[in-house]
Structure 1
Amino acid sequence: MAHIVFVETTHLGIQAIEAAKRFGHRVSFITSGNVDWLLTEEDKMIVSQNVDHVWNTSDTQDVDAVRHALKACSTAFPVDAVLSTLHQCVPATTAAAAELGFPSTSPTGIENARDKSRCRQLLDEAQIPSVKHASVHSAKQALAALETIGYPAIIKPTTGMGKLITTFVHSESDVLAHFEQAESQLLNLDLSLRRELSLEFIIEELAVGPLYSIEVGVSAHGEWMPFAILRRKTGAHNPILEMGSIIPCGLSEAQYDEVAQYAIRVLKVLGLDLGIFHVEFIYTQNGPRLVEVNPRIAGGTIPDLIRAATGANLFEYLVRIFLGERIGLTKLECKIAASHSLIGVAEHCTVRANLPENWFEPIQQRLHSGYVDIRPGQIVKKMHTNYDVYGVVRTTADSYDAVVSKIDGFYAEVEQVLGIKLTEIRN
């Protein structure tokens, strides 16, 4: 029996805790309570049922606080691995684990991926195909950089997540508006998110082509495992919004291999050496071009979609990788096509009061899985960020085209029953 320590969790990341317990390991959980808003009461109950020991600390985004909790934890029970599935806690978790000599992802690799400017610089130095870019602190610097980069472009924080404070710019006025609004947008976020974001920005050339992501596992045995590629959906009128995914992705076998080798090169250059990593890219006419690397397992509902299509539980592989096992896999084979769409609202509005309480049940019974948290008389807000999500619908079919058509039908049905315009999706 090994002892694995989790520092905080997401709703989805609870599956890793459940997997560790199911495998018969000792499970410890370090928490501050500061990010409990991410979990429902049911989530908290599941965590308590699958955790052997809870260690409280003041701040799970602070290296010293995490190190103090890990020391106490290891004094009671020798520690075999440490990880976090919560993006904003990953840097402190890996840094503290490294200082204490516990197996975890390289903190240098984490920082190289987390700092988008540093990431681009490392790709340039290694001559890995990338996009034109520049780091800026002001609108004046941004406008000067865009004289070389050109429009359209994207401006995003050098550190951050969820596409927060991110803008596609097509003109000088877009740039000025981005910098005028950035600080107020930051102040309106939860403290845990504010601490992860930077008001230093990177401007990137806009790569042209469809958006994809690949999940790559890396074991202590030198295994580089391109588990799955997904075609990503975005908002039709706001491409920053992430609206769902499709697997299989529609790429040919040769393209899949090209992307896998590209992603592995990127991860090696960054120094990400242990775990499962989420790499987003645009497939251009010249091949893949990096969007960003998330130095942890995919968030949102992507692992659930991969499981629906392949039967494989990525969280089980995550636990096994951190505990030093040899995995012996490369690409996961799709047994069926699967797709999901996230439920976002196109405009602020109030749900009709005569909506039946059980309105979603007839739809849910025909889905693979999903939920929608919208009730009669509820005030719902326009989807501005990837956190403004009210649910997900997920389905399966025999082919890529069939599953796209099927999930679009369910999304339209939810919209029709609610009588509310949902965020328009571009597949």
Structure 2
Amino acid sequence: MARRAFILVEGASNMQRYVQVAQHHGFHPIILSANPTRYEYLAAKSIETIAVDTNNLDALIQECSRLGAAYEIAGITSATEFTYATVGKLCRHFELPGPNPTSIERCCDKFLQRQLLARAGIPIPAYRLATNATEIKGAAADIGLPVVLKPAVGSGSIGVRLCRNLDELAEHATYLLGEKHIWRSSPRILVEEFAQGPLYWSDVMGDEVIGVGAGDFGPPPHFVYHQWTFPAPLGDAEHKRIADVSLSCLRALGLGWGPTCIEFRWTKHGPIVIEVNPRLSGAPGPEMVQAACGVDLLTEHIKLVTGDEWNLCRSHSQIAAARFLVADSDGTLDWIDGVSRAAAIPGVIEVKLNVEPKAPIVRKGDHRDCMGYVIAASPDHALTEAILQRAVDLISWSITSFPARGAHEQICAPPSPAPTQAGEKGRS
């Protein structure tokens, strides 16, 4: 009998977990990537990785057909939204379970997504589409400062900034329209109303809302996460409002197959939809859901992709929280200490590092600034906070500034909990 292959087309922060879960369920994971060197950590574990143009549907069909001669292809998916629509087309070609590619394409274009949500009467921030500096300035004048500038296609808060005055607006417009930001096509920029209020998101699988989480950011104008909590400390009425709006978003965008992560701000007008992402939330979102209620979203997604029967039943009820480890300076990471001690504290679920000593640290003001995270869980919100803070206090690191900026060493530790910063939520 041929081995059952589970094919992943590119990946993001959840890639390694997809591979691990697929292996646990007896599949042979195969990564298709335009740049396999991105996944050197998988190559070190002897995970099969194949170079192919993942933007070319015909090339992917040809490669999967070749693989189909040696394996039984159990399922095809992606851990990133950039290739998820192509994956939908690939699944249709091979008559495998997969998302609706048209719905995914419409959802990933944030301008078109805004139009569809507005047409359905779903509350969203005021917005305009701009392609040059003059249009950006005019849109900001129409909406009123402060505004959020972001690429119409993208994720992880890359290129997303809060612009509080005309100088910040001009500076970020110059950045987005210059050569520093990488565009997949011609520049299309959303100028959005700055929706102020607590940040929430809903995790959805199929057409079932698994739960609602809460988060906050570090200091503006960037949108770099500080902490997530799941489930959010909401009353039943507030939870129901977010769940109801989440399901309305699915109907408006033609979603409802597989995972969806929907981001909100709770303003004086109630929940405002910031973004609908047709994928799982980035790490450590799925890990927190599993710690809080026992539902492993990656496992259930893989079951769906491979045509198996899934199970979204909750096995327990806890409060999970994650603190992000973010450097406060650029330079070379000399060392990071306290990880094993933090991981040994009762109630700590995971301590994950994304960097290793001697790695260059260059802050970009987006999800790439995260050096790692700590997750804790317990039956009580205050206890979870205490466990998390105790673990984070044990972790410290040393960063030596790059020589061109004047060499000096800084001993850093994660900051204490900061007040919630309102703004755009951009996850990987």
Equivalent position SS for 2:215 = strand
Q: 1:323 to 1:280 in 2, by over 3 A?
A: same
Which residue of structure 1 aligns with residue 404 of structure 2?
none
Structure 1 range deviating more: 1-10 or 154-163: 1-10
Equivalent position SS for 1:368 = strand
CA deviation after TM superposition for structure 1 residue 144, in Å: 1.3
> How many residues are aligned here?
403
Q: Which amino acid aligns with 2:247?
A: I
Which of these residues, 186, 193, 209, is aligned with residue 226 of structure 1?
Answer: 209
Which residue of structure 1 aligns with residue 32 of structure 2?
31
- Whole-Å Cα distance in 2 between the matches of residues 106 and 315 of structure 1? 19
CA deviation after TM superposition for structure 1 residue 261, in Å: 1.5
Structure 1 range deviating more: 383-392 or 249-258: 383-392
Is 1:344 aligned to residue 338 of structure 2? Answer: no
Is 1:320 aligned to residue 303 of structure 2? Answer: yes
Does the aligned pair in 2 maintain the 1:235–1:242 contact within 8 Å? yes
- Whole-Å Cα distance in 1 between the matches of residues 83 and 156 of structure 2? 15
Equivalent position SS for 2:145 = coil
- Whole-Å Cα distance in 2 between the matches of residues 278 and 327 of structure 1? 18
Which of these residues, 348, 351, 367, is aligned with residue 386 of structure 1?
Answer: 367
Does the aligned pair in 1 maintain the 2:393–2:413 contact within 8 Å? no
Q: 1:349 to 1:328 in 2, by over 3 A?
A: closer
Q: 1:355-381 CA deviation, whole Å, 9 max, x = no partner?
A: 6x7543323322332034677776544
Which residue of structure 2 aligns with residue 186 of structure 1?
181
Q: 1:64 to 1:258 in 2, by over 3 A?
A: same
Which residue of structure 1 aligns with residue 164 of structure 2?
170
CA deviation after TM superposition for structure 1 residue 413, in Å: 4.0
Which residue of structure 2 aligns with residue 148 of structure 1?
142
- Whole-Å Cα distance in 2 between the matches of residues 33 and 338 of structure 1? 36
Which residue of structure 1 aligns with residue 88 of structure 2?
94
Structure 1 range deviating more: 404-413 or 110-119: 404-413
TM-score, length of structure 1 as denominator length: 0.84
Q: 1:327-374 CA deviation, whole Å, 9 max, x = no partner?
A: 4647x47522111111111122556x6x6x754332332233203467
Which residue of structure 2 aligns with residue 16 of structure 1?
18
Q: Which amino acid aligns with 1:185?
A: K
Which of these residues, 66, 77, 87, is aligned with residue 83 of structure 1?
Answer: 77
Cα RMSD, aligned residues only: 2.9
Q: 1:142-190 CA deviation, whole Å, 9 max, x = no partner?
A: 1212222111111110100111111111222222111211233325xxx
Q: 1:416 to 1:19 in 2, by over 3 A?
A: closer
- Whole-Å Cα distance in 1 between the matches of residues 117 and 361 of structure 2? 42
Which residue of structure 1 aligns with residue 130 of structure 2?
136
Q: Which amino acid aligns with 2:219?
A: A
CA deviation after TM superposition for structure 1 residue 129, in Å: 1.6
Q: Percent identity?
A: 20
Equivalent position SS for 2:327 = coil
Q: 1:147 to 1:80 in 2, by over 3 A?
A: same
Does the aligned pair in 2 maintain the 1:236–1:426 contact within 8 Å? no
Which of these residues, 381, 384, 393, is aligned with residue 400 of structure 1?
Answer: 381
Q: 1:349 to 1:84 in 2, by over 3 A?
A: closer
Q: Which amino acid aligns with 1:363?
A: A
Q: Which amino acid aligns with 1:344?
A: V
> Which runs of structure 2 are paired with 1:286-325 in the superposition (5 Å)?
286-325=269-308
Structure 1 range deviating more: 178-187 or 209-218: 178-187
Which residue of structure 2 aligns with residue 215 of structure 1?
203
- Whole-Å Cα distance in 2 between the matches of residues 374 and 142 of structure 1? 36
Equivalent position SS for 2:181 = helix
Q: 1:120 to 1:311 in 2, by over 3 A?
A: same
Does the aligned pair in 1 maintain the 2:331–2:361 contact within 8 Å? yes
Q: 1:172 to 1:309 in 2, by over 3 A?
A: same
- Whole-Å Cα distance in 2 between the matches of residues 382 and 5 of structure 1? 33
Does the aligned pair in 1 maintain the 2:161–2:222 contact within 8 Å? no
- Whole-Å Cα distance in 2 between the matches of residues 119 and 373 of structure 1? 32
CA deviation after TM superposition for structure 1 residue 71, in Å: 2.7
Gaps of 5+ in 1: 49-53, 188-193, 219-223
Which residue of structure 2 aligns with residue 335 of structure 1?
317
Q: 1:236-281 CA deviation, whole Å, 9 max, x = no partner?
A: 3445112331112111122112111211111221112321111111
Is 1:159 aligned to residue 153 of structure 2? Answer: yes
Which residue of structure 2 aligns with residue 240 of structure 1?
223
Q: 1:110 to 1:373 in 2, by over 3 A?
A: closer
- Whole-Å Cα distance in 1 between the matches of residues 35 and 364 of structure 2? 25
Equivalent position SS for 1:59 = coil
Q: 1:300 to 1:148 in 2, by over 3 A?
A: same
Does the aligned pair in 2 maintain the 1:346–1:423 contact within 8 Å? no
Does the aligned pair in 1 maintain the 2:147–2:164 contact within 8 Å? yes
TM-score, length of structure 2 as denominator length: 0.84
Q: Which amino acid aligns with 1:62?
A: N
Q: 1:80 to 1:363 in 2, by over 3 A?
A: closer
Which of these residues, 419, 422, 425, is aligned with residue 411 of structure 2?
Answer: 419
Q: 1:60 to 1:376 in 2, by over 3 A?
A: closer
Q: 1:17-45 CA deviation, whole Å, 9 max, x = no partner?
A: 43344334x445242360542x453x445
Equivalent position SS for 2:272 = strand
Q: 1:139 to 1:359 in 2, by over 3 A?
A: same
Is 1:59 aligned to residue 53 of structure 2? Answer: yes
Q: 1:33 to 1:23 in 2, by over 3 A?
A: same
Which of these residues, 252, 262, 269, is aligned with residue 245 of structure 2?
Answer: 262
CA deviation after TM superposition for structure 1 residue 111, in Å: 0.8
Does the aligned pair in 1 maintain the 2:342–2:392 contact within 8 Å? no
Which of these residues, 340, 359, 363, is aligned with residue 361 of structure 1?
Answer: 340
